[in-house]
A and B are shown apart, each in its own frame.
Chain A
Amino acid sequence: MNTSNTQTMTVTSVMPNMSQVFGWLKSLQYPAMGITGLLLLWWFGGFMIENDPDLSAFAAFAPAPTFSALVDLIASGEVWQPIGSSLYRILSGLVWGIAIGVPVGVTVGYFGLALKVANVPFQFLRMISPLAWMPIAVLAFQSWDSAIIFLIVMATVWPIIFSTAHGVRRIDPNWFKVARNLGASGFQMLRRIILPAIMTDVMAGIRLAVGVAWVVLVPAEYLGVTSGLGYAINDARDTLSYDSLAAVVIVIGVIGYGLDTICSVLIKRFNWHME
């Protein structure tokens, strides 16, 4: 009696797990096809390079040498130090970008006059490549590290400002009226109404900012510094170790994808719109 009971219980508790795993695998089928396609293209490119006498020196770019270099990088632990430096820079830049971008965005979005005044200069500054600030950054900052963080700030601050301002302008005016009518002070209005209302837009801005910042970070690290993933690429090129160069490229892609996924999870978490 007892044993049969436990048996049925195990069966029923395993059953949904099985279907869960199955559903999970099913949701992966299209991404898996895409990745396979990319690998095939890469392999084909490597094959062409290898068979071209002019290019055969670069044969290490092919998938097989790259993956073995990647395994070496991870196994030796060499990979963590540049990842750490790069993540430190991007996170510092992002924190500054948020600390500047959100208050400025709220101000610009809330006060119509501020928007009118700031729109043209902001659109102008936004279109300047963050890398164009490099010479100024080097002059203005003591260390290369702070100069790079400054470039990241210049990359992150615009999407955050514009997205935040857009979110503030979209707030239902009735929400302000009701809150004022309930006796909300300026600070309470900001904390209980404005910030929760724009949270989704701020997160969307941060997601855009992370994308831009990650792209800007690598070329920024080509200059001056002796750490980070950008430096690792440059270093690999100088030592002609194209396999580890390609391995670093993969690391950059994987981390970038991971950062973007974290952002999209956060967006879902803060989204109060009901499907």
Chain B
Amino acid sequence: MGASISLDFITHKFSASAEPTLKDIENRIEPGELVALIGRSGCGKSTLLHMMAGLLIPSDGCVRINSHLVTKPSAKWNMMFQKASLYPWMNVKENAALGLLFDGMPKAEAGERVDALLDMVGLHDKKDVNVQSLSGGQQQRVALARSLATEPEVLLLDEPFSALDAFTRTQLQEEVPNICRERGITMVIVTHDIDEAIAMADRVLIMSQNPGRIVGELVVDLPWPRRHMDSGFQTMRDELMQQFKGTDTGLAGRNAADPDQSEISQSAA
């Protein structure tokens, strides 16, 4: 079952003298909700996701998962990265079972558990193969099975499909939310691709840059599966694009545009 994520007044500086990377982030993600976090490169969205995973601790404020303070990584809130980063000395099955092994499960039992998962992600004939012989899409599917094996309550995705070919990307954009909805997993995806956000999320959070803030949000109440050609999809896309442009303050107009930004966040809230 999914967990709720609560972001409580997070402000983060990478060094004491630096400008804050993230400022006053506050939001609540409901159990089983699918949320996309969009923003330009360098707006701190990936940093925020690392905090939810417990890989980074905010200098101010905190992340709570099911009102449990996140202080370190756990297989229960699991992250998928842009690179699959599989371990080349293990075969597909061993890679997928790694989280279970870390959890102390005997190897045979872990192997059985990941068997069904590998079937589900479409790697039934690749279980004993060397991971270096897989395509990028197949490697990312192994990483997906690896993340799901530990039965996580939260799945965090850090632009995991951006290095894949368009066909595989579209497939996974459909499969991953399906899996999360079936299992009630709370999903947060970081992306700079507006289409990807609408295709995968119930709610999109828009982040500004310098400092990184949540400046807007959009509820995507489209039926599943999402079709890019549907008129509803196109309307959402335009709306999100408009909101996103509001954050486009550039370098010169940044301070002048600040009041506008807070206005957006107010209207969105």
Contacts and interface: CB of A to CB of B under 8 A. Distances in A.
A22 interface: no
A268 interface: no
B75 A182 contact: yes
A52 B57 CA distance: 82
Interface residues of B, number: 23
Contacts of A174: 81, 83, 85
A54 interface: no
Among B73, B132, B146, find the residue whose CB has the most chain A CB atoms closer than 10 A.
B73
B73 A183 contact: yes
B103 interface: yes
Interface stretch (A31-39, A131-139, A189-197, A214-222): A189-197
Contact of B146 (A182, A192, A197, A274): A182
A261 interface: no
Nearest to A271: B89
B103 A274 contact: no
B138 interface: no
A196 B89 contact: yes
A182 B78 contact: yes
Nearest to B77: A181
Q: For chain A, what secondary structure do more than half of its interface residues adopt (helix, strand, loop), or is it mixed?
A: helix
Interface in A169-191: 172, 174-175, 177-185, 188
A192 B85 contact: no
B102 A184 contact: yes
A241 to B, nearest CB: 52
Contacts, number: 57
Contact of A183 (B81, B103, B132): B103
A274 B130 contact: yes
B101 interface: yes
A207 B261 CA distance: 63
B44 interface: no
Among B78, B102, B133, find the residue whose CB has the most chain A CB atoms closer than 10 A.
B102
Given A180-B73, A185-B102, A192-B98, A272 B89 contact: yes
A199 B90 CA distance: 13
A273 interface: yes
B98 A273 contact: no
Given A181-B53, A181-B73, A197 B89 contact: yes
A181 B154 CA distance: 12
Among B53, B87, B99, B133, find the residue whose CB has the most chain A CB atoms closer than 10 A.
B87
Given A175-B85, A183-B102, 4 more contacts: A181-B78, A181-B79, A183-B75, A273-B132
5 contacts: A174-B81, A174-B85, A177-B85, A181-B73, A181-B78
The 8 closest A-B pairs by CB, nearest first: A272-B89, A183-B75, A182-B99, A174-B85, A274-B132, A196-B89, A178-B85, A184-B102
Interface of A: 172, 174-175, 177-185, 188, 192-193, 196-197, 199, 272-274
